[in-house]
């Protein structure tokens, strides 16, 4: 992986961490996620007329990705309602790169070397190590179930979108079509289940839909572009360094106290980044 591609993926990770930090600061995380997906859909609708369309061969992948993304966002809401975000987030984000690395060989034909595997394992191990610093509270069993299901969903859309972006010839427009198609079902579900709450939440935090939506679309478009230049599993692992940025944001901006083990986990994740670069 070139330095330029790595830096762009790290910037995408920063964007991903930024909108997650916004959600984390909210009293109603699910409705914030709805706002972010809605904002991403609106911004995509504005930008798409100015971009070339994806190649026809990528449309089945975009359709499959849309379905998986709807499940993904619903599972996020379920996980955050049933337990602590600090427990669910590392579990959801730490496993998918390993699953993608295992599946990318038979499904995509990408074979990783020992160095690449070492980097991916370090990054995932560091992320999962954050679980040791998270409180285990009421509802953790259900939270674990939702988080593990979502890890499968994340691995699924990563492989689907990595392949779809390569076939599309236009990773940015491919990503925007996915967000444009994903937004309306999530919005309809939120209005049907919590219409009054959603309208009040929108009045209070409407700006989040634009800021979070821009971070979501921009970050994911960069990730999909990177997957056309580097192995999908490597990009997927590097993207999950977002948790380092999220930790920094939570400590320095949200004034949260880091757990004792977080510096060790961060060091392991950074070691994985270095190993990936040297691989």
The rounded radius of gyration (Å) of the Cα atoms in the chain is 18
Q: Kindly report the number of other CB atoms within 10 A of residue 194's CB atom.
A: 16
pLDDT attached to residue 135: 57
Express each pLDDT in 167-202 by its tens digit: 999 999 999 999 999 999 999 999 998 888 999 988
- pTM comes to 0.92
What are the residue ranges spanned by the domains of the chain?
Answer: 3-278
> Which has the closest alpha carbon to 241: 130, 76, 77, 102?
130
Residue 88 has pLDDT above 90, yes or no: no
Q: Kindly report the number of other CB atoms within 10 A of residue 217's CB atom.
A: 25
> Which has the closest alpha carbon to 67: 206, 164, 142?
164
Which pLDDT band, with edges at 50, 70 and 90, does 259 fall under?
low
Residue 137 has pLDDT above 60, yes or no: no
> N- to C-terminal Cα distance for the chain?
8
């Amino acid at each position: 992986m070139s330095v330029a591609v790595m830096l762009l993926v790290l910037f995408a990770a920063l964007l991903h961490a930024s909108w997650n930090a916004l959600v984390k600061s909210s009293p109603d995380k699910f409705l914030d996620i709805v706002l972010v997906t809605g904002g991403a859909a609106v911004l995509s609708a504005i930008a798409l007329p100015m971009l070339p369309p994806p190649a026809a061969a990528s449309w089945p992948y975009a359709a499959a990705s849309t379905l998986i993304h709807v499940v993904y966002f619903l599972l996020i809401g379920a996980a955050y309602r049933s337990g602590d975000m600090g427990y669910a987030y590392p579990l959801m984000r730490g496993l998918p790169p390993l699953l993608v690395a295992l599946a990318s060989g038979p499904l995509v034909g990408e074979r990783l070397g020992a160095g690449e595997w070492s980097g991916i394992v370090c990054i995932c191990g560091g992320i999962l190590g954050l679980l040791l610093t998270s409180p285990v509270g009421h509802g953790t069993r259900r939270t674990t179930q939702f988080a593990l299901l979502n890890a499968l969903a994340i691995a699924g859309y990563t492989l689907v979108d990595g392949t779809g972006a390569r076939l599309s010839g236009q990773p940015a427009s491919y990503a925007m079509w996915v967000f444009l198609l994903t937004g309306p079902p999530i919005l309809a579900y939120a209005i049907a289940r919590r219409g009054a709450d959603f309208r009040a939440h929108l009045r209070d935090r409407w700006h989040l839909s634009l800021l979070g939506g821009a971070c979501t679309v921009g970050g994911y478009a960069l990730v999909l572009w990177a997957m056309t230049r580097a192995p999908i599993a490597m990009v997927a692992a590097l993207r999950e360094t977002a948790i380092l940025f999220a930790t920094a944001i939570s400590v320095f901006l949200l004034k949260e106290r880091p757990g004792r083990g977080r510096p060790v986990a961060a060091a392991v994740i950074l070691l994985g980044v270095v190993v990936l670069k040297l691989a």
